[in-house]
Every structure is written in C-alpha cells, then in structure tokens.
Structure 1
Amino acid sequence: MREGWRSEPAAHGGCQCGAVRFELPAGPKKSTVCHCRMCQRATGNAFAPLLEVPTSEVTWHGTPSVWASSSVAERGFCSTCGTPLFYRSGDTTEFMAGSLTGFDYRPVANHGVEGCVPWVKGLHHLPDHATRPELVAEVVSHQAPEE
C-alpha cells in the first residue's frame, strides 16, 4: 500500500440537496488536510480535509459538475446546491470530509502548509460551545437527510 494509505471501511456521502451521492467500498484510503491557497479558495475555508480513494472505486448516484481548477486537477461540486465534493488528479479522487456521512475521518498528514493561516494552529485552545438547543429546534433545514 502507498505511504499514508490504510485499509478503511466503506464510506458514503453527498451534497446538501441530495442530487449527488457517492459510495466508496471498503479498502485503501488516505485522509489528509490541505492548507494550500487553491484548496482554501475551492472550499471557501481555511483548509480542505480530504479522503483520497482510487477513482475507479467510486460509485456515483447523480452527476457532479466538474471544473478544471488547474492544468493537473479538477474539482467536483453539485450544480444545484453548490456543495464542494472532491478534488481529482491522476487516478485518485479526494472527497471533502464534510461530505462524508458517518465515516471516522482521521488525517495522517497536512499538505500545502505554506498556505496555512496562522489562526488554525490555535483552534484546539479555544473553548467548545454546542449549538443552542432552542436554535436547533427552530431551524427548518432544506438539506437532504443524511443516510
């Protein structure tokens, strides 16, 4: 197995609206976090937590839209709700960890650390706060149910 890859259980996930879903069989997978500027812009976030799998192993339900973000890679997303879903280069696809349902994501490495925003390294020192129950009770979600 390639460096950082480990045998993992099956996984599945998809976009917010449910138009695009995917299944990943049990087998080799690699979990990493990318801090590069391209991933920051693609996710609208400080980093991209990614689960890498062989592209040939992915089963799609619905068709993601794809955009060539560089000369070596493309990024997939749902054209209905806009959810970023993956980064694909070569023979692997790296899924956004937030699009996974019920998968024990455990990253093995940080990549693109030259783009790491300074405040990320201090997040573990901040206090944790759960969402207020009264807010949860009044929100009407338009997201598809998680499977």
Structure 2
Amino acid sequence: MRLKGLYFDCQVDGCAPDTFAVTEFTLDEHLSELFTLTLTLTSPEADIDIKSLILCKAYLTVSQNGVPQREVIGIITEAKRGKSGFRRTYYTLIVRPSLWLLTQRQQSRIFHFKSIPEVLDILLQEHQIRFCCDCRDKHTQREFI
C-alpha cells in the first residue's frame, strides 16, 4: 500500500515495526549543538517495559507520498508511559544522538604524541560511536593534549 500525503513513522530497535504510531513530535536542532527529538507515540500495547527502551536506537522517518524525505536516528535517553485509553496507551520518548552519551561523563586524560583526529578516534571508539573521519589535511602530533 502506497501512502498519500505526509506520513511520520517511528521504529525502535527491539520492538515490532507496528508497535508505535506517531501522534506528535518536536525536533529541536541548532548549528553546533546536539539535537533533541521529543516523540509522543501511541501503542495498542499498554505493558511495554519502558526501562528496556533506554539506549535503544530510535528512527523517525518523515515521508511525503511514500517517499522518505528525512530520517532522524538517535538513542532513547528518556521514556515515559502516559495515559491509557480504551485501545491505546500514550508514550513519550526523548531521542538524542549517540554522541550525547559523552556529555554524561567527565574525565581528565592526557594524550601523549597524538593528533586531534587520533584523540577523537580513541574517544569515539571507546564509546562505540560509529563515525567517519575524512581529514584531508595532515594533523601534527602534539606532545600533550
């Protein structure tokens, strides 16, 4: 079935594809800042374990006439169960990029004889954050970073 008009779809890793229906969302994004996606969803399932949703990947796809126009991918950092009606239960999910996890930790380290891209590579790999470094210029190693 090909959908007509504007359509919003939310998928969560570990949940069946038709678990959630999007009723409302707010995407707050700015240059040089991490985004925050607030999703209000409904589900026919009233007993979803919301604690198990934390740190799961969530995908919001915005489609026009069945053609995806935009996709926002992140991890669930907050989950709340809302009111339950006759057939549906409301859920609110807060989704942020994986990089957000680095803001939840404070650590002092010294890196010896490393370049800036090498330090970024180490830190992102430690947090299992997928990335692609396309550095064209040569970055010199520094004695201390």
* TM-score category of the 2 structures, normalised to the smaller one: 0.3 to 0.5
Greater strand proportion: 2
Relative to the length of structure 2, the TM-score reads 0.33
Greater helix proportion: 1
Structure scoring higher RCO (CA < 8 A, sep ≥ 6) equals 1
